[in-house]
Structure 1
């Protein structure tokens, strides 16, 4: 009501009341009194809701949890379990859950891919589908799980269901080992040059016949990964919000940082455990040890399945305690009442804060619309998607980049990346949480720090300009030394006058470092006719393709890649560690911003939508596009039965420039989106500001009423 309207109303009623009211104590008219009691609907709603929340928290009896908030199963709720009925207990079991998920999905699955391809004769395109099945399940289920949990359902029960599904998926993933017979490997390739002999190659007809049944196990692996995705869906959506709901805002990001750190340590343990099991022959359970083969033999298959059985038991052991937690921990109502909303001012708070909103599936379209129309939420989600694009691509192909760029073995390259990525990821998550607590960052501060960290990473990505020259490769990067008259066709010709009569196979890549410092496809391609095996070290002599000058005559031709003389790998790994540290420090910051810019009862649902956006835009296409960049740098492709296999040799310079362009583009987009989120964010008025505005309005209206009565 306007001031002039108030004045007229006071004048109208003042003539009637002046006869019975003392002159110095005028009675305020009903209209003025009504406006005084509710001067501002928005302010009134804030004050009333805050008061009612405090009242509800005070009625809970926080000194001792009631029966509905006690920890236990059904009627069995012993007092000895209540020591775990707090945020610390929840954090412990959620960390165990996220650790187990990381071991299985990001550790064991990745480590076992090569062994599964060899054992079940699957091409890499099929195992790529297996890897993507996890994210497909997440995308399909995330909206359902997060919205349904927001309808008042128990988050711990959903988390327990996720842990059980994760264990079931690991069990199913290991079943193909037990439902197939012993592993049968074919005869090996001809290692040395057999002058005048017959060419022996792979028996493709028998391989196809034998492999047709084994390849059907692809669908079993896909089913296992789908169940892994079902288990991971509630973990990173409901688990995060359940932690945030039950700890004070000043401490919540330390808890969430530890939660993410545990998930980052999982892959490290998965690589370590899985790598150790791969040194054991796959059929050890039936008494075979594969003594005819060595771990370096391309036909070797390790015991990939043992780790999945162990994780099945671990995941199911977490299910039981998660089932015992109540829907809400003791003291959660008081914590919630003391938290000040930082939701985006135009983010649908007025609709989403209604008591009955989200209790029915009829609210689902409106819930989606509220999030999609929240610009800050969408910008943060898209920025996180491009961050996921980077991390998924680097996690998948980082070891291969180190292996090819710096001429390392695949096992050592994987360990080096593990030593760099895992501490960087875990430390980054903890660092982000500690910074948020130390500086007591609010939403704007979180977004501002995301922008700063993104700008620093953009400069650090220039480390991909640190490259090593290609190792000389006979017939690939340069001509054969002892066959200089042989023309190179399109830069590739593994055959030369020096090995024409050797009948060398090209199905099996056996890198051999010649005494002349040049790398050869195999000892046969080097023209070597004499093999000496001493304590597992293979040496070759009488190699017709090697030019023995004064230097080469003092060296030996050995199996394996030639050592690189490039010394830039320590610098690359050191800078790469800093990149991982700063990149993963954005995790708790971006998650904190997300939980702050949406209404409280939409936080789980918002994380579900955000994870879907992240997977569709970033995590799923990230490895695919990064792999395409690597393929474009390939110099030598492997072949088997007329079909192109994996790339064997890369152009280091092309690879480095491709990675640099991809990383800079994605990181720049993520940083720009964080800037747009910062600009678009409109914080709501704080509770203190609302109270001040309310008191000012009441004072102003009292003065107006007195003036109106006196003038009358």
Structure 2
């Protein structure tokens, strides 16, 4: 039993590692979007590449993998996941230093006593506007796809291996233990993402005193690449034990005599197979597995309960993926950022009182005036001079602020103005509700797996789990980041400008439109999913009643001899109307 316990601990660690890496990827979405200056719709495609990788091989791994060395396949998958994580981090070392858009003179950042006239900066040369953007995000796309390919064997092969060699009554407990350890992964992943997001992307390569933005600025990019090296290393370590685990284990509670008997039978069969050429053995085994694939799929999808589980999972995963992918952006834009639509428009309208300054409306270099208003740039605020350096720079003699009725020496500081105090209270309420909702959702994880495993025949377990993963990942994992991202892009108020021109990542969203779009989509999908779950529960109860009636009829028939040949006088098709399946 020590081997089984080693497998259980190893599988739990893999669940932690893959959740750790997946959560960190989600937490880095905003940083990646800013680093490569891409819209949310494209970042949704990059995020969906994980499910694309799953899609490529999940069906074959689930079916053929169940008949091969499952622990070894899980170990190989972990190695591929680790390589994918390292590949995601690779663009950082090829792309050069991060250059954010700014209208502040670098000379002013070096000499704190120098007076500048930011409104007289000359525009960028026209030829630079035609420069192409960096295609380095393709490495992130491919690396995330490799992560998806590597994660493929973990769930279907790991759970089927666990269920095959554990006591039937112990399986729910083991699944609960594995998922409990796995739940810690997202917590550590988001904690790591939060920590690294406050460290500048090029830390160690630039003088941080010359950086004029803080981690609260919408142009800030954290050290996103470092987290993928950390998560890749953790996933790599998790692969090691699986290369030392056997292909099969004795069933828990099996008597030693039975084990020896089965071992003898297996040895005899192996000896008989040794007389056949090795190539012939492999060809026969593969042909036998392949010819049963389509019939197995038909048997699987005739099961109504299984099909309803797939449908419910598909809808709820659409909502969950959209929720988790853009949750950091939602928190940042609705609770963490400062400018609302009204404040932003008031600030940009001042470009009419500064026509002689040639202020560019493309620049996003926000400053906060002492009247609590955010201006898109010092130029649009009409600032004439500045003092200080880096993040401590202060702008003075801002004429547009003077027109608001303030003193003659009105000033502004770098960054957007902070939100009101009530935003902090609302944020705490939102997070409390999120924790409660996550806890309630997690409570249904283990029962859902048990219902799925007990509603299908034992030989279809790996295929059923694999097909569930295939369908849910394909239709529930790939589209949501794309259509959520496209809808969120429609709420953008201010698009960033790439270093050599062209539209970059969104710098500011309409908070109200963002909230209604984001929460409205999630609420609608969750409501639909709960409706399907309700119908699934009704179907299970109805089916169990029919099975009980069938068993009772058989017992009565045997006792009273009222039924010919010992069979109950009842239509089996009416009872088992879900197809060939096992009792829950």
**Short-chain TM bin:** 0.7 to 0.9
What secondary structure does 2:153 align onto? helix
Q: Aligned match of 1:680 in 532, 539, 550?
A: 539
Mapped contact 1:104–1:270 kept (Cα < 8 A):
yes
The aligned counterpart of 1:98 is 15
Mapped contact 1:100–1:315 kept (Cα < 8 A):
yes
Q: Aligned match of 1:396 in 310, 325, 328?
A: 325
What secondary structure does 2:397 align onto? strand
The aligned counterpart of 1:308 is 228
Q: Aligned match of 1:293 in 207, 211, 223?
A: 211
What secondary structure does 1:637 align onto? strand
CA RMSD of aligned residues (A): 3.9
Residue 145 of structure 1: CA displacement?
0.6
After superposition, give the CA deviation of every residue in 1:583-609 in whole Å (9 maximum; x if it has no partner). 233322322221121112211211111
Aligned length: 520
Closer, same or farther: CA 616–197 of 1 in aligned 2, 3 Å: same
The aligned counterpart of 1:273 is 192
Mapped contact 2:353–2:400 kept (Cα < 8 A):
yes
Unaligned runs of 5+ in 1: 1-81, 338-355, 410-468, 481-492, 706-712
Separation (CA, whole Å) in 2 of partners of 1:588 and 1:494: 56
Mapped contact 1:294–1:300 kept (Cα < 8 A):
no
What TM-score, normalized by structure 2, do the two folds share? 0.77
Closer, same or farther: CA 534–137 of 1 in aligned 2, 3 Å: closer
Residue 239 of structure 1: CA displacement?
1.8
Separation (CA, whole Å) in 1 of partners of 2:52 and 2:298: 23
After superposition, give the CA deviation of every residue in 1:180-203 in whole Å (9 maximum; x if it has no partner). 3753748842379837724333x5
What does 1:488-499 align with in structure 2 at a 5 Å threshold? 494-499=349-354
The aligned counterpart of 1:581 is 439
Unaligned runs of 5+ in 2: 106-114, 259-284, 566-584
Q: Does 1:611 align with 2:530?
A: no
After superposition, give the CA deviation of every residue in 1:422-481 in whole Å (9 maximum; x if it has no partner). xxxxxxxxxxxxxxxxxxxxxxxxxxxxxxxxxxxxxxxxxxxxxxx946414x2xx46x
What secondary structure does 1:360 align onto? helix
The aligned counterpart of 2:521 is 662
The aligned counterpart of 1:700 is 560
The aligned counterpart of 2:150 is 231
Separation (CA, whole Å) in 2 of partners of 1:221 and 1:134: 10
The aligned counterpart of 1:190 is 104
Q: Does 1:168 align with 2:65?
A: no
The aligned counterpart of 1:542 is 397
Q: Does 1:129 align with 2:33?
A: no
Residue 159 of structure 1: CA displacement?
1.0
Closer, same or farther: CA 181–675 of 1 in aligned 2, 3 Å: closer
Closer, same or farther: CA 688–552 of 1 in aligned 2, 3 Å: farther
The aligned counterpart of 1:635 is 493
Mapped contact 2:80–2:147 kept (Cα < 8 A):
yes
Separation (CA, whole Å) in 2 of partners of 1:630 and 1:118: 15
What does 1:21-40 align with in structure 2 at a 5 Å threshold? none
Separation (CA, whole Å) in 1 of partners of 2:517 and 2:75: 43
Residue 386 of structure 1: CA displacement?
1.5
Separation (CA, whole Å) in 2 of partners of 1:181 and 1:651: 31
Separation (CA, whole Å) in 1 of partners of 2:333 and 2:153: 38
Closer, same or farther: CA 508–389 of 1 in aligned 2, 3 Å: same
Q: Does 1:509 align with 2:427?
A: no
Separation (CA, whole Å) in 2 of partners of 1:643 and 1:627: 19
**Structure having the higher Rg:** 1
Separation (CA, whole Å) in 1 of partners of 2:119 and 2:366: 23
Separation (CA, whole Å) in 1 of partners of 2:308 and 2:29: 35
Mapped contact 1:407–1:564 kept (Cα < 8 A):
yes
